[in-house]
Amino acid sequence: MKKFVFPLLLALLAACTLQLEEEVNSAEIADRLKRDANQVALMKRSHKFPLDSAAILVSDMLLIPTLNKMANSFAAGGTFPARLFRVSPDSSGIILWYGFDPHSREVFLALEQLKNYDVANMPKYPTASKLVRSASIFTRTITSPVDRLSIKTQFQNERITDNEVQSIDNATLRKRMNSFDSLLRTMPDGKGEKYNQYLFSFFHDSRDGTFDNFLDQAGRNGYVRYYFGYDERDKPNRIRVILVAVDADGRNVTSINAGGRTNDEGDGVTLQKSWPPPSQ
C-alpha cells in the first residue's frame, strides 16, 4: 500500500505546484496589462499614436494565451490599398467589420465607408451590398516572454508584398461576422466575458488633416496595414485595430513622413483611435 501512496502524493504535489504557477502567471499578466493600459491612456486621446505605444498594444495581445492563439492561428493583421481609406465627402469615416472564415480559418476585416455614425444607435451589420475585405492575412508565431522591443523592431523591418484584397457581398459578410462572434465566445476572458461586444471598429475622419497626413505617408500606390492589439481599459472592445502606413514596396512607414523628414517623435504616424469608445 505504501508504495502506491508516495507516487500519489508526488502527483498531487506536482498538480498543486502547476496550479500555483498558473495563478502566479495570471496575476503577473493582469498586473502588466493594467500598467500598460495606464501608460498608453494619455496617448490614446488622439488618432495619432507613437510606434512605442502601438508595440505595447500588440505585445499585450500576444501576452494573453487565447489571443496569442488567435494571432498565431487565425490572424495578427492584414492589408488594404491606401486609396480605400480616402474618406469621401459624404461619409464620416471608415468602418472595419470583423469576420471569421471557418473554411480558410482566417480572421479578417472588411472595409466600408460609413455615412453617419450614431452612438445612440450603433450599427450591427454593414449596409453596402458589396464590400472589400483583406485577403492577405498574416499570422504571428511568438511564444512568451513577449518582448515589446522585438515587436517594435518587427514594425520597423516588416515587409509584406502580398497585399491582395477581394470583394465580399453583404450576406456572406454577415455570416462571417456571426462566425467571428462565435469564435470570441470560445475564448472568453477570466470572467467569462467576450473581449469584444461589437463586431466593428470605426475610424472617424474629423477633417482636421489627420487622415490625409497618415495616408500621405503611404504615397500614391501605398497600403494601410492593420494589426490587432489589446487594451485592458477599452471595454466594450478590448481587441483594438492599429493602422500603419505602408509604402508601395510593402514596407511599414515607421521613421519618415511624406516629406522625407523624420518627424518629432522619430516615428511614422499610426492610427488607433476607433469607436466604440471605452465604457469606463
CA proximity to 250, closest of 71, 107, 111, 79: 79
CA proximity to 131, closest of 101, 110, 116: 110
Retrieve residue 261's grid coordinates: 523628414
How far is residue 67's CA from residue 165's CA, in Å, rounded to a whole number? 24
| pLDDT tens-digit map of 229-240 | 999 988 899 999
| pLDDT tens-digit map of 62-120 | 989 999 999 999 999 999 999 999 999 999 999 999 999 999 999 999 999 999 888 88
| pLDDT tens-digit map of 179-225 | 999 999 999 998 999 999 999 999 999 888 888 889 999 998 999 99
Residue 265 has pLDDT above 80, yes or no: no
Q: Count Cβ neighbours within 10 Å for each residue of 37-55 and write b for 16 or more, e otherwise.
A: beebeebbeebbbbbbbbb
Residue-level pLDDT at 268: 67
CA proximity to 146, closest of 270, 36, 20: 36
CA of 206: how far to CAs of 91, 92, 203, 211, 280, in Å? Answer: 11, 8, 9, 8, 23
**Residue-range domain boundaries for the chain:** 2-271
Residue 54 has pLDDT above 60, yes or no: yes
* Helix locations, 88-169, DSSP H: 148-157
pTM, two decimal places: 0.81
Residue-level pLDDT at 272: 85
How far is residue 9's CA from residue 278's CA, in Å, rounded to a whole number? 48
| pLDDT tens-digit map of 122-176 | 899 999 999 999 998 999 876 556 777 888 888 888 888 888 899 999 999 999 9
